[in-house]
Each structure stands twice: as C-alpha cells, then as structure tokens.
Chains A and B, each alone.
Chain A
Amino acid sequence: MDVSQYLEIFLDETKEHLQNLNTQILELEQDSENMDTVNEIFRAAHSLKGMAGTMGYKRMQNLTHDMENVFSEVRNGNIKVQPNMIDILFQCLDALEGYLANIQESSDEGTDDNEPLIKALNDILNGNSGGDAPKKEDKTEAKEEAKEEKKEAASDSKEKWQSIKLTDTEKGLFEKAKEEGQHFYGITVYIQESCILKAARAFLVFKALEEKGEVVLSNPSTQDIEDEKFDFDFSVIVVTAESYDNVVAAIKSVSEIEDAFGRELTEADFGNSADAEAEDEPAKEESKPAEEAKKPETKELPAKAGDKKPAAKPVVNRTVRVDIEKLDVLMNLVSELIIAKNSLVSSTSGEDTHNSNFNEQIEYLESVTTNLHESVMKVRMVPIESVVSKFPRMIRDMQKTLGKKMELHMTGEETELDRTVVDEIGDPLMHLLRNAADHGLESGEVRVQRGKPEVGNIYLDAYQDGNNVVIEVRDDGNGIDVAKVRDKAISRGTITAEQAENMSDKEIVDLLFLPSFSTKEQVSEISGRGVGLDVVKSKIEALSGEVEVKTKLGEGSTWIVRLPLTLAIIQALMVIVGDEKYAISLGSIQTIEDISPSDIKLVQNKEVIQLRGTVIPIIRLSDVVDATSSKSPEDNMVVVIVKKGDRLAGLVVDELIGQQEIVIKSLGKYISKCKFISGATILGDGEVALILDANALI
C-alpha cells in the first residue's frame, strides 16, 4: 500500500500523540492513581501503535506495543507506577521522537531497535513479582493460573469456549433467557493467521453479535481482545433469540474470519462446570478473584462496544488541517477584496448621494468584507499551548540533570497568537526557561541557607495586552548579579572600565543580550555555551517583538517577551513625509504632539524636546528616508512620540493622514537592507506604502 500521501498526517498526529503522552505521563508522575490519566495514556499509545503499524514503521510499532502493554497492566491494576518506570517511559518517548525525526527527514524510521528500552519495558512487565505490590501480584498469578487451566482443559477441542467458567450469575441469566425463548450459544471464533488487525476483526465480530443479541462472556476478556492480547481465536458466550446458524453466519460475514465452532448451551454445561469447581476447591478459591475481575468488564460490554468507535479514533475536535500556505493565499485574496472595496468606497464618496440604494449596498459590502477579514485572521490564530506544553517535561528532565529541585507554573496557555509567531517562539522561550533553571535558580542548599523554599519556582505567564501578547518567564532564584556582569564585560573587553562607570544597571544587564556572553563560570550541558540570549533576542526581534529583563539580586529575574498579536495585520498611523506615505504601527505610538521649532534644544549636538518633564530625542523622518520635507522650518512640527521599552523618541512627520488597519506584506529578501522598514502595505488606491519600524529607529 502506498502510504506516502499520509505521511504528513502521520507526522502531525504522531507529534500530537507524543505531546499528549508527555503531558499525561508527567501528570501520572504527580498522581499515580489517576485512572483517567492512565486511560488517556493507554489510548494515545494505542493510536500511536496503530498508526506506526499502518505506515509500516515496525520498530516504532514494536516499541509502542511494549509501552502499551505496560500501560495496560497499569490500567488493570497489576503494576503500580514507580519513578523508574516513568523515567523509562520518558526515554521511550524520546526514542519515539527520534524515530519521528528520522521519518521526517528520510521517511524511514532508521535502524535503531532501542532494544535496551524494550527490554526495560519487559522487565517492568515481568518484574511485578519483585514484591512492590504483593496483593495484586497474587491476583495476577491466580488469574494466569486460572487461564492456563482453562487452556489445558480445552486444548484438545476446537470449541475452546467450553473452558469458559460459568458461574451462578450466568446460570441465572441462562434460565431467564430460556423462559423468554432465547438461546445460549458458546462459540469459538478463529481469525485467519494472516490478519493484521485482529482486534479490529474481533471488534467487528462483537458488533455483529451485539446486533443479534448480547455477549455474556468472552475469553480472553473483552479488554484483552481490544488490546489484541490473544492468539488467533477467542471464545464467547452469546445470548440471542436467533438460531445458531444465523449467529455463525453473522460472525463469518466479517472478513478474515477463518471459522467459528460452537453449539447451544444446555443445562448440563452449567451443571458440569459447577461440579468441576466444587471438586477443585483451591482452584475455585484462586479463580474467584479472576472471575471477579472479569465480571465488571463483562457487564461493561454493551456500553464498551458502543463506545468503541470514539475510543478507536481518539477524541478529535472538529478540525481540518490546512496548509498555512493556503491560508496565506486566502488572506491575500481577502486583502485584495478589501482593497477593491476601499477603492469602490472612495470612488463613490465624491459623487452626490442620490442613489441611497447603492450606498447601502456598499456599506453592506463593507461589513461583509470586514467580517470575512476577521474570520480569516482568526483562523490563523492558535493557542500558544502547542508550544508551551512541552516545557513541563523539559523542566522535569533538567531537574535530574542539574540536580536542583524546581517546579514550573504556567498560566495563560490559551493565549492565542498568529500561527507563524507560535511556530517560531518555542526556541526562544526554551532558552529563557533553561537560563532560568540553570543560571537563575540557586542550588537547593543555597536556597535553604537563604531561607527560601528548597524547591525553586519558575513561572511562565502569557497574557494579551492590547495589540500585543506578553509572555513572562520568571524565577525566584538569585537574580542577575550586575557587578559580576560588569566585571565580566570589562574582562572580556566588551566595554571599558570608564564606560562601565557611566552605565546604568539596566544597561549592564542588557549586555547579556550581546553575542557570546555567558556569566556562568562553569559551562553546563543545559546552557552557558554563550549562544543563548543573543539568539533569543534576534529571534524575537525577527518576529517584530522585543525582550527585556527585570532583575533583583537575590530575589529573581523576569524576562518579558512582547510579541505582536499577529504579523499579518496591524493598526497603523498613516503619515506623510515629503510626498510619500508611511505607516507607523500604532502599538509603538505613545502620543502625537504639536511642537514649535523654538522648543527644540540641542544636547550633545542632538535635537531634543522636553515633554512633561522628560527629555525626548527627536528624529526627523525626512532625513531618515532621504525625502525633502514639504514644510518650512518655521512651521510647527507634528511629532509622533514612539516608545521602545523604556525609551522614547519623537518622529517628526509632515502630515498625519489617520489611523488605518493595514495588511503587512513582506518586501521580500531582495530588499532587506533597509533596517527601519519592516514591510509594506497596499493602500486603498492600490499604491504601496512602506511601514516604518519605530523600534529600529530609536
């Protein structure tokens, strides 16, 4: 089967499942008794196995299969969750991720069998005789023994169902059914040995049987059948009003079913088994727990069978995966439509308004395009959860490598950002978290000495703030030692001692963002290779965002990442410089001032103005963009005050046009030299206006 066309879906879904597993196993570590979590893990592992199998990735399938076995035992209460088991499971996930990476690159899973892991998993499976949960263990053994007995008893017959032990409950049911004219059949179904999806076939058989009547008992249990824990046959006891032939025909109508043997049960069958049990007292004792364990499962059966469909397909939201490029095209078309609408509006506005009907239609068109635009924008928004959900796992691992105790607290995972931003923000955030864990938090002993709780706290808070999304990475560690940074900077020759004298603490802390600057004396595996913060900074700036740090020695640091809500559309102020139109993002604008030329002072040969007690440098945009200002020097100037972090600057423009929602378009890589132009936009008349990046100007 050619499955290459599904490769992308496979990759996407596998990633999702792996992420899910990571999260759930972390949860399991916290609360090892939570059956919901175990079930969820089991389901994810099961889907993974199924998908890997379908795609023909045998090694991946084997590994997930063994993981699934472990989960299944956990779910059945036969194994207790232990710390070393969690570690192994995480290693398995890493191995799976390794496979995935290989597949992504070469559509081949590679040759690593991960045998040690498989062995470790099997050890967990077999090692439950180790003595951690003796009670449950006994039960398992009893169950196994009981099963073995049954097998032995029936090994000479094809009708293996005869080995199913019938209890009084079944007998009661049998008698009742008889009164109602229904029949009890014992049937053993054989599946073809070439069948790949045994569980699926068995499920179909069960479904067929459910249509005819009710499955009272099965061997192995429905659970085991669902998990493919059986050879090529399974036995059922069915109660139905249909004739035996009809029932068998229904079973055989399922494809890949080899054959089915059985007959109607008589009272004798119940009597016999009861006798057998009576004869073998200790055996009965032993098999009791097994029976008991089986009973609730059997009762669940009708519900299970009904539920099985959604279970086989993990709970999916009603979503469709769309290539981001297609969305870009759609976005482009919508902006084209808006531009067309704008020019229609502007071409009619001049004319007399006799034709009210026409105007109405235009207004209607306007509201439709606005809504359409908003919807398309929203489609591109995804919660940052997809990125941040991998962090708890990372912190957990680092806890072990660094030997520090720490906890990650996250809020605002539901905050939404444009897809393109979300895709890019993962690495910088990871760097910041690693920094916080490695450089920020002190070791446990130091923390205790300082009277802090031994467990360090790292916080990741995301929230929306106007047109921006703010993500804060905070720790309650040592904070940044400004003096240390200063010494380091001087010893490295980054700054001179005299320069250092004149620098504020904040300026010195900002040195950390320079390339190759790491204050940690010892380079660790986690961070401190000197490639961290400058990369973080440039990456965030590439996303038109900014990063700053606030720190207090001894109390911790906060890294604040501010990102635009979306890269594709912004509210902007349109201005005229010379005879050209420019857009300035509204997000960076503080105020707009009318300044008389006499208010301009010179400080260090730079033009500044004083505004409500603050000295603000001014930048004449006409000089920046090499245009000739249309204004005479005596006229009052329009100054747009923009803010970058804590710094302000005044941009002198010739005229204001007004506020407008603009669609940001890239200038392309061919024109990338110009630093203060962050892009272009298309105006209502089809003309192109450039977008000034106020951040780059300051």
Chain B
Amino acid sequence: MDELRVATELDTTQYIVIKIGEESYGINIAFVDNIVRMQHITRVPKVAPYLKGVINLRGIIVPVMSLRLKMGLEDDVITKATRIIILKLETQGTIGIIVDEVREVITLDSEHIEKVAQDSNKSSEHVNFVSAVGKTGDELVSLLDLNTVALENE
C-alpha cells in the first residue's frame, strides 16, 4: 500500500466526493467498481451491526455495510440521494458501502493532499478511517483509507 500511496502522491488522483451527514469524504476512484441506487438489502443474522446484509449485484452477492454505523454515527436514513458504492478491494474483495449522497468527482494533485498526523486529531471516533485531507477550492475533503474502513472489527 505504501508504494501505491507514493505513486498517487506524485501525480493526480481522482476522488469521488460523498457526503455523510454534513461532512464530505473522498474515495479513491481506483477502488470504485460501481455506484448503485439504494435497493433492498437482505439482512444476515448474527453479524456485526454495521454489516447491513447482502445485495444482488447482477448475479453476484455483495455484502453491504453502513459507513455511518462503522464510524459510530447514528443509523442511515434512506433518502432518494442514498447510494451504495461498490468497492473492489485487494484483500476484502467486493463490498458495498452506504453513503448519504454522491456529489462529484474531483481531481487532486499531491500538493493539495495533506497527510493526517495522528496527534493533531483529538476527539472524533472515525478519525482513523481518514488517511489524508484534500483541499479543493476552499473546501476540505477527508480522504478515506478504504482498507481500514473495510477492516472487520467487533
């Protein structure tokens, strides 16, 4: 992963900007397989609460998790804007995450990405999911570390 990060820092990387609550997050487009509308999720019993269940993605069963629950926020409120982002990760395979809204695709070059130093973040629970902060215009976008996001924890 380190090599990959080095590579992305050298040239520009595209991020999909999503919204969870009031905050904007960026997801590296390289890991995004698909974005689908909210659909019926089949609940799977006896799994961690943030795992909402599974969906049928054109014949493939894909587990879906709630980013909100994973980050320790309150449960998702499904609206017309709710989307499931299908990620393809190296270790965890295909997995869907529920987001409140998908806004845009931005291109960031390495100058505009700042690593998050662990100390400077004091309180919030979900800080470890963020690997860096990107600056686009005067807005700040927290860039998600997808492997940490998808990591199983109980």
A residues touching B (Cβ–Cβ < 8 Å)? 332-333, 335-336, 339, 580, 624-627, 665-671, 673-674, 677, 680, 682, 686-690
Query: A665 to chain B: which residues have CB within 8 Å?
Result: 59-61
Q: Which 6 A-B pairs have the closest CB atoms?
A: A688-B42, A625-B45, A665-B61, A670-B63, A336-B59, A680-B61
| B122 interfacial contact with A, CB 8 Å | no
Q: Which residue of B lies closest to A579 (CB)?
A: B43
Complex alpha-carbon distance, A580 and B43, angstroms? 8
CB distance from A664 to the nearest CB of B (A): 10
| B47 interfacial contact with A, CB 8 Å | yes
User: Would B42 and A680 count as touching, CB distance under 8 A?
Assistant: yes
- Count residues on chain B whose CB falls below 8 Å from chain A CBs: 25
CB distance from A580 to the nearest CB of B (A): 7
Known: A680-B42, A690-B44. A668 touches B56 (CB 8 A): no
Complex alpha-carbon distance, A456 and B51, angstroms? 55
Query: A688 to chain B: which residues have CB within 8 Å?
Result: 42, 53-56, 61
User: Would A668 and B62 count as touching, CB distance under 8 A?
Assistant: yes
Complex alpha-carbon distance, A669 and B62, angstroms? 10
Interface stretch, picked from B15-23, B25-33, B71-79, B91-99, is B91-99
Known: A668-B94, A669-B93. A674 touches B59 (CB 8 A): no
Complex alpha-carbon distance, A441 and B58, angstroms? 53
Complex alpha-carbon distance, A178 and B51, angstroms? 93
Most buried by B among A336, A666, A674, A688: A688
Q: Which residue of B lies closest to A329 (CB)?
A: B59
* Cβ-neighbour of A668 out of B43, B46, B58, B93 (below 8 A): B93
User: Would A673 and B46 count as touching, CB distance under 8 A?
Assistant: yes
Known: A669-B93, A674-B47. A680 touches B54 (CB 8 A): yes
Known: A670-B95, A671-B63, A690-B42. A336 touches B47 (CB 8 A): no
Complex alpha-carbon distance, A665 and B42, angstroms? 14
Q: Given A668-B63, A688-B56, 5 more contacts at CB 8 Å?
A: A332-B59, A333-B59, A626-B45, A673-B47, A687-B56
Considering the complex, which residues of chain B in the window 117-152 have a beta carbon less than 8 Å from any beta carbon of chain A?
150, 152
Query: B152 to chain A: which residues have CB within 8 Å?
Result: 670
| B5 interfacial contact with A, CB 8 Å | no
Query: B40 to chain A: which residues have CB within 8 Å?
Result: 687
Query: A687 to chain B: which residues have CB within 8 Å?
Result: 40, 42, 56
CB distance from A441 to the nearest CB of B (A): 45
Query: B45 to chain A: which residues have CB within 8 Å?
Result: 624-627, 674, 677
A-B contact pairs, 30 of them (CB 8 A): A332-B60, A333-B59, A336-B59, A339-B59, A580-B42, A580-B43, A626-B45, A665-B59, A665-B60, A666-B61, A667-B44, A667-B63, A668-B62, A670-B51, A670-B150, A671-B44, A671-B63, A674-B44, A680-B42, A686-B56, A687-B40, A688-B42, A688-B53, A688-B54, A688-B55, A688-B56, A688-B61, A689-B42, A690-B44, A690-B54
Complex alpha-carbon distance, A673 and B153, angstroms? 12
Complex alpha-carbon distance, A680 and B62, angstroms? 10
Query: A625 to chain B: which residues have CB within 8 Å?
Result: 45-46
User: Would B54 and A671 count as touching, CB distance under 8 A?
Assistant: yes
Known: A624-B45, A626-B45. A671 touches B51 (CB 8 A): yes
Query: B48 to chain A: which residues have CB within 8 Å?
Result: 673
CB distance from B38 to the nearest CB of A (A): 14
User: Would B46 and A626 count as touching, CB distance under 8 A?
Assistant: yes
Query: A336 to chain B: which residues have CB within 8 Å?
Result: 58-59
Most buried by A among B44, B48, B51, B59: B59
Query: A332 to chain B: which residues have CB within 8 Å?
Result: 59-60
User: Would A670 and B93 count as touching, CB distance under 8 A?
Assistant: yes
